[in-house]
Amino acid sequence: MSEAATSRLDSLKWVVVLVLVAGGIFGNSYYGDQPILYRVLVLLVLALLAGWFASLTQKGGDFFTLVKGSRNEIRKVVWPTRQETTQTTLIVFVFVIVTGLILWGLDSVLGWLASLILG
């Protein structure tokens, strides 16, 4: 299939996605008196259909390829152990307390100096 035809079909698919999303928004508002469970189920079905149509486009396919690559990269991450996380949290906590005390002391001294100067 030529690039122009693919682009044209992609545009049509995006129109279908927009119609599904707009229909979901309008339907949720129009049928506001219906139980929330039914409206949520219909919105989920419409969202899945819109996502499926979007994945059939070139940009949608590229997006899902990116998501798959991201999942593979996340699996390669070396996560810290519980001990490393605890130690890092304690270091941050102590640093925040010490910084707070220094700023409190500085504020007190500057306030005292300002009161001396201003009388």
The per-residue pLDDT for range 60-95, each reduced to its tens digit, is 889 989 999 999 999 999 999 999 999 999 999 999
What is the rounded CA–CA span in Å between residue 20 and residue 76? 37
* DSSP 8-state assignment for residue 79: P
Q: Which of 9-18, 38-47, 100-109 has the lowest mean pLDDT?
A: 9-18
91 and 54 within one domain: no
52 and 84 within one domain: no
Number of domains within the chain: 2
93 and 41 within one domain: no
**Token output for 13:** 């698919």
The per-residue pLDDT for range 37-69, each reduced to its tens digit, is 999 999 999 999 999 988 888 998 899 899 999
Provide the b/e sequence for 51-79 (b: ≥16 CB within 10 Å): eebbeebeebeeeeeeeeeeeeeeeeeee
98 and 46 within one domain: no
Residue 42, domain extent: 1-77
